[in-house]
A and B are shown apart, each in its own frame.
Chain A
Amino acid sequence: MSRSQINTAGFAALAVVLLALPFVLSSYHTFQATMVIVYAVALLGLNLLIGYNGQISLGHGAFFAIGAYTTAILVTKVGMPYWMTIPIAGALCLVVGFLFGLPALRLEGLYLALPTFALAVATPQLLNYNRVAPLTGGVQGIMFDKPDSPVLPLDQDQWLYFFCLAIAIPLYIVGWNLLRARTGRAIVAIRDHAMAAGAMGIDNAFYKTATFGVSAMYAGIAGSLSAIITQFVAPDSFPIFLSLSFLVGIVVGGVASIPGAAVGAVFIEFVPNVASEISDAAPWAVYGIVLIAAMYLMPEGVAGLCRTLGNRLETRRPAARPAPAPRRAPG
Chain B
Amino acid sequence: MENFLNQLLSGLATGGLYASIALALVMIYQATHHVNFAQGELAMFSAFLAWTLMQGGFSYWAAFLLTLVLSFIAGAAIERIIIRPIEDKPVLTVVVVFVGLLFVLNSVAGWIYGYDIKSFPSPFPANAWYASRFMSAHQVGMITVTLALLILVFAFFRFTALGLAMRAVAQNPVSSQLVGIRTGWILALGWGLASVIGAVAGMMAAPIVYLDPNMMGGILLYAFAAALLGGLTSPLGAVIGGFVVGVLENLAGAYVVGTEIKLSVALVIIVGVLLLRPSGLFGRTVVTRV
A residues adjacent to B (C-beta < 8 A)? 50, 56, 103-104, 106-108, 110-111, 113-115, 117-118, 121-122, 125-126, 128-130, 193, 195-196, 244, 247-248, 250-252, 255, 281-292, 295-296, 299-300, 328-331
Is the pair A296, B107 in contact by a Cβ cutoff of 8 Å? Answer: no
Q: With the chains together, A288 CA to B82 CA distance in Å?
A: 13
In the complex, what residue of chain A is closest to B94 when comparing beta carbons? A295
Q: Give CA–CA (A108, B90) in the complex, Å.
A: 16
Segment among B5-13, B162-170, B180-188, B258-266 that sits at the interface with chain A? B258-266
Selected contact of B107 from candidates A193, A288, A295, A299, CB within 8 Å: A288
Whether B274 lies near A107 (C-beta < 8 A) is yes
Distance A29 CA – B225 CA, assembled complex (angstroms):
41
Q: Would you give 27 A-B contacts (Cβ < 8 Å), ordered by A?
A: A56-B92, A110-B35, A110-B228, A111-B228, A111-B278, A114-B270, A114-B274, A115-B271, A118-B225, A118-B268, A122-B263, A122-B264, A128-B260, A129-B261, A247-B99, A251-B92, A251-B96, A255-B92, A284-B107, A285-B104, A285-B108, A291-B96, A295-B93, A295-B100, A296-B85, A299-B86, A300-B93
Q: Which residues of chain B are near A195, meaning CB under 8 Å?
A: 290
Known interface pairs A107-B275, A292-B101; A330-B96 also in contact (CB < 8 Å) = no
Partner of B267, one of A122, A130, A330: A122
Q: Is the CB of B260 within 8 A of A125?
A: yes
Contact B232 A288 (CB under 8 A): no
Given A115-B271, A285-B104, A285-B108, do A110 and B232 touch, yes or no (CB 8 Å)? yes
In the assembled complex, B159 has its CB within 8 A of some CB on chain A = no
Distance, CA A250 to CA B90, complexed state (A)? 13
Interface residues of B (CB under 8 A from A): 35, 82, 85-86, 89-93, 95-97, 99-108, 110-111, 221, 224-225, 228, 232, 260-261, 263-264, 267-268, 270-271, 274-275, 278-280, 290
Nearest Cβ distance between residue B60 and chain A, in whole angstroms? 30
A289 and B99 CA atoms in complex are apart in Å by 10
Residues of chain B contacted by A56 (CB below 8 angstroms): 92
Name the distance in Å between A330's Cβ and chain B's nearest Cβ. 7
How far, in whole Å, are A252 and B232 apart by their CA atoms in the complex?
27
Residue from A106, A125, A287 in contact with B278 in the complex, judged by beta carbons closer than 8 Å: A106
**Contact with B92, one of A244, A247, A289 (Cβ below 8 angstroms):** A247
B97 cross-chain contacts in A, Cβ below 8 A: 291-292, 295
Do A300 and B90 touch across chains, with their CB atoms under 8 A apart?
A: yes
Across the interface, do A251 and B95 meet the contact criterion of CB distance under 8 Å? Answer: yes
Residues of A with C-beta under 8 A to B35: 110, 113
Are B89 and A295 in touch, CB under 8 angstroms? yes
User: Could you tell me the distance in whole angstroms from the C-beta of B145 to the nearest C-beta in chain A?
Assistant: 26
Contact in complex: B279, A288 (CB < 8 Å) = no
Chain B residue at minimum C-beta to C-beta distance from A50: B92
Q: How far is the CA of A103 from the CA of B271 in the complex (A)?
A: 9
Chain B, Cβ-Cβ closest to A130: B260
The 4 closest A-B pairs by CB, nearest first: A329-B90, A288-B103, A291-B100, A288-B104
Provide the bound-state CA to CA distance between A129 and B82, in Å.
41
Find chain A residues with CB under 8 A from B90 CB: 255, 299-300, 328-331
Tell whether A247 pairs with B96 under 8 Å between CB atoms, given A111-B274, A121-B221, A288-B101: yes
B-side contacts of A300, CB under 8 Å:
89-90, 93
Q: Is the CB of B86 within 8 A of A296?
A: yes
CB-CB < 8 A to A118: which residues of B? 225, 264, 267-268, 270-271
Q: Is the CB of A284 within 8 A of B106?
A: yes
10 further A-B pairs in the complex, CB-CB below 8 A; given A111-B274, A291-B99, A330-B91 = A128-B260, A251-B92, A251-B96, A284-B106, A285-B111, A288-B103, A291-B96, A295-B86, A300-B89, A328-B90
Contacts A292-B101, A331-B92 hold; do A282 and B110 have CB atoms under 8 A apart? Answer: yes
